Structure 1
Amino acid sequence: MKFTVLGTGSATPQLGKHPSAFLVQIDNEYVLIDCGEATQYRLLEQKIKPNKLKTICISHLHGDHYFGLAGLLSSLSLSQRKEPLTLIGPPDLIKIIELQIENSNNKLNYELIFVPTQNKEVELVLDKTFFKIESFPLIHRIPTTGFLISRAEGKRHILADKLPENFPVHFMGMLKEGLDVEDPMTGEIFKSSDYTIPGTPEKKLAYCSDTAYKPDLIPIIEGANLLYHEATFTDELKSRAEMTQHSTASQAAEIAKCAAVKKLVLGHFSSRYKNLDQHLIEAKSVFQNAVLAEEGKTYSI
């Protein structure tokens, strides 16, 4: 899995800090999480063809998280996309998109599959062969969800050099599934544990969009390989964070520490900060493996 930062800013426009948008690559499949203004340009900058997107997740309906969506969907249609696109987000999102499309005398050339979210409990919103996406409730001024993307454990790897020559491919598939195989001709048993090694372990990416400090998140995201968590403010504006239902860098780090995640990426920085050193200092004082999200940077998971 890979996690690419397309936007690190918050609501007020900032040069060099674009609105929230993040690209997740799971094998050859691409998922976009949030779609702030001009996200399609950020994708082009990263040399990612928007038509590669199969799923878009929107955390909530504050503009800095979805104002780029209508333009992106329209561009996909103009590029003659035919493949269906799954859109996951708040129930009212589809009304907004349909209104924009209708009043621009436009029509999408592809099927838009809408999956509404709710912010009451953890919910499975996408289930594919090799990964799944769950939404979970956050605390913000309007209904908001985070997302947990889990890449399933890979199948076991065959130790081909240990197997007899011309070993049947079907039997190899069984060994990769963890099953033992009996040769019907000789009765010899080939144990999966002897002829394979474990596959890629399960990987988890947790995305916590705009939210007040919420310890309830800890069991949901526990052990994630990477946690993205908003850190709009530093500690001197903790009271403002509480009022606006945002988090400070140290609060994000506290969540990361208690959830025992492997890595914390901080983002959604207020435009009042021209220098983000204090964010990192405060976060690292609580959780050492914390970094500031950087525009265009990709983190391997």
Structure 2
Amino acid sequence: MKLTILGCYAATPRTITNPTSQVLEIKNRLFLIDCGEGTQVQLRKNKIKFSKINHIFISHLHGDHFFGLIGTISTFALLGRTTDLHIYGPKGVKEIIMLQLKLSNSWTTYELFFHELESNESQIIFEDSKVVVKTIPLKHRVYTNGFLFEEKLGERKLNVDAVQHYDIHTAYYQKIKNGGDITLEDGTVIENEKVSFDPIPPLSYAFCSDTAYHEAILPIIKNVDVLYHEATFLQSEEALAQKTLHSTAIEAATIALKANAKQLVLGHYSTRYEGIERFKEEAKTIFPNVLLADDGSSFEF
């Protein structure tokens, strides 16, 4: 699982920072999460192929999380894209994008599918044979969702030495990978565990931005492998965080601790601060495994 940070700062873009957008690569799928202004430029800088992005998830309709969407959609068309593009976001995202396309007479060369979200309960919004995506209802000034990406349990791994020892024909290999027992010609039943290894444990990733401190999300993200949680403010601005329904680094770390997350990634920093190291320092007083997102950084898990 690989996470590439295209932008992770709050509010407006600057010459040295970009608003929220990131790419998650999981089970050979590429998901674009949020699409702040300048996202397509950041995709190019990070050498991420536009053609591999078929699903875009928008957390909420504040500009620093979706103002780059129309530009990205339009560039896909200019490049001659023909593959379907699916967009998941709050109700209203379709109206915004379709109006922009209509008034600019810039219709796409490919099919656009909008999956508009309204529920205040967690729900599955994407699922295929390898990955499932659920919403994480957050607490912000407008309707907002985070997203939980979970790998599905994969096939068992063939124990080559064991299958050769039992002289099992290759025709039964897939059955073994699927977890089935094998019956030999003499009637002997070979239990699956004797000829296979457990599959690689599935990974999970939770994206939580923007939100106030919100313990209601804990059951949804319990035991998550990697938690990206907004940390707009340091503790000295706790009152401002409460007023704007954002989180501090300590609050993000507290959520990670209570969720039993394995790894915390901080982001969505206010640009009022000169550097971001203090976010990590404050978070580590609560939770030990802290990484700092920054524009252009990538993490492999």
TM beyond 0.5: yes
The aligned residue for residue 296 of structure 1 is 296
Q: Could you tell me how far apart the structure 1 residues matched to 2:26 and 2:276 are?
A: 30
Q: Give aligned pairs, total.
A: 300
Equivalent residues of 1:9, 1:267 under 8 A apart: yes
Q: Which amino acid aligns with 2:11?
A: A
Equivalent residues of 1:118, 1:137 under 8 A apart: no
The aligned residue for residue 118 of structure 1 is 118
Q: 1:158 to 1:64 in 2, by over 3 A?
A: same
Q: 1:170 to 1:86 in 2, by over 3 A?
A: farther
Map 1:164-175 to 2 at 5 A.
Answer: 164=164, 167-175=168-176
Q: Which amino acid aligns with 1:179?
A: G
Deviation at 1:277, TM superposition (A): 2.4
Q: Could you tell me how far apart the structure 2 residues matched to 1:95 and 1:261 are?
A: 37
The aligned residue for residue 224 of structure 1 is 224
The aligned residue for residue 158 of structure 1 is 158
Q: Could you tell me how far apart the structure 1 residues matched to 2:257 and 2:216 are?
A: 14
SS of the equivalent of 1:163 reads helix
Q: Could you tell me how far apart the structure 2 residues matched to 1:103 and 1:170 are?
A: 59
The aligned residue for residue 64 of structure 2 is 64
Q: Could you tell me how far apart the structure 2 residues matched to 1:119 and 1:41 are?
A: 32
Percent identical: 38
Q: CA RMSD in A?
A: 1.3
- The two structures have a TM-score, normalised by structure 1, of 0.96
Q: Could you tell me how far apart the structure 1 residues matched to 2:243 and 2:119 are?
A: 20
Q: Could you tell me how far apart the structure 2 residues matched to 1:277 and 1:75 are?
A: 35
The aligned residue for residue 177 of structure 2 is 176
Deviation at 1:162, TM superposition (A): 2.2
Deviation at 1:119, TM superposition (A): 4.5
Deviations along 1:29-71, one digit per CA (max 9) or x if unpaired, are 1000000011011111111111110110000000000011111
Q: Could you tell me how far apart the structure 1 residues matched to 2:108 and 2:274 are?
A: 40
Q: Could you tell me how far apart the structure 2 residues matched to 1:125 and 1:286 are?
A: 32
SS of the equivalent of 1:24 reads strand
Equivalent residues of 1:119, 1:136 under 8 A apart: no
Q: Which amino acid aligns with 1:275?
A: G
Deviations along 1:227-251, one digit per CA (max 9) or x if unpaired, are 0000000011100000000000000
Q: Greater CA deviation, 286-295 or 32-41?
A: 286-295
The aligned residue for residue 286 of structure 1 is 286
Deviation at 1:13, TM superposition (A): 2.3
The aligned residue for residue 206 of structure 2 is 206
Q: Could you tell me how far apart the structure 2 residues matched to 1:28 and 1:291 are?
A: 23
Q: Could you tell me how far apart the structure 2 residues matched to 1:236 and 1:82 are?
A: 50
Deviations along 1:139-182, one digit per CA (max 9) or x if unpaired, are 11110001000011221100123223884444111111111011
Q: Greater CA deviation, 120-129 or 155-164?
A: 155-164
SS of the equivalent of 2:164 reads coil
Q: Could you tell me how far apart the structure 1 residues matched to 2:169 and 2:78 are?
A: 48
Equivalent residues of 1:118, 1:145 under 8 A apart: no
Q: 1:102 to 1:160 in 2, by over 3 A?
A: same
Map 1:1-301 to 2 at 5 A.
Answer: 1-164=1-164, 167-183=168-184, 185-301=185-301
Equivalent residues of 1:20, 1:65 under 8 A apart: yes
Q: Could you tell me how far apart the structure 2 residues matched to 1:109 and 1:168 are?
A: 49
Q: Could you tell me how far apart the structure 2 residues matched to 1:85 and 1:186 are?
A: 54
Equivalent residues of 1:230, 1:268 under 8 A apart: yes
Equivalent residues of 1:119, 1:143 under 8 A apart: no
SS of the equivalent of 2:43 reads helix
Equivalent residues of 1:7, 1:22 under 8 A apart: yes
Deviations along 1:60-108, one digit per CA (max 9) or x if unpaired, are 0000000111111111111111111111001100110101111111111
SS of the equivalent of 1:164 reads helix
Structure 1 segments unaligned to the other structure (5+ residues):
none
Q: Could you tell me how far apart the structure 1 residues matched to 2:42 and 2:33 are?
A: 13
Deviations along 1:224-276, one digit per CA (max 9) or x if unpaired, are 11000000000111000000000000000000000010000000011101122
Equivalent residues of 2:27, 2:131 under 8 A apart: no
